Amino acid sequence: MLQTNLKHVNSRSEHGEIINNNENVMICCGRMGPMCIPVYATMKKLESEYPSVAFYDMDFDIPDAAAIRNLPECRGFMGLPFTVYYKNGKVVKATASIQNEDQIREILSQEFGL
């Protein structure tokens, strides 16, 4: 399990429940590495500012992370983390590697209208 202050996705079934039961979801799938940790920290910071977004992390190395690793939107990704944004159960944006706060805010604004 990742050592973050975010809520964790621990299985494929949890992943499905989360994206189907929340209108706006951001899941960062990674490890405790130098490209991932800043994204987790930014997500935690933004969590209180964006109550209509469900922020989660998922350990890249668990078998059930295939729910994210194998998405068509993530097919060509090379760097961690894989960050996926869902609106009404559908992928609306996916990014790879580090994203800074401004980049994340821009995606939240563009994809979720926030």
- Tens digits of pLDDT across the chain (114 residues): 799 999 999 999 999 999 999 999 999 999 999 999 999 999 999 999 999 999 999 999 999 999 999 999 999 999 999 999 999 999 999 999 999 999 999 999 999 998
CATH architecture of 7-101: 3-Layer(aba) Sandwich (3.40)
Contact indicator for 88, 54 with CB cutoff of 8 Å: no
Instruction: List CB contacts of 41: < 8 A, sequence separation 6 or more.
Output: none
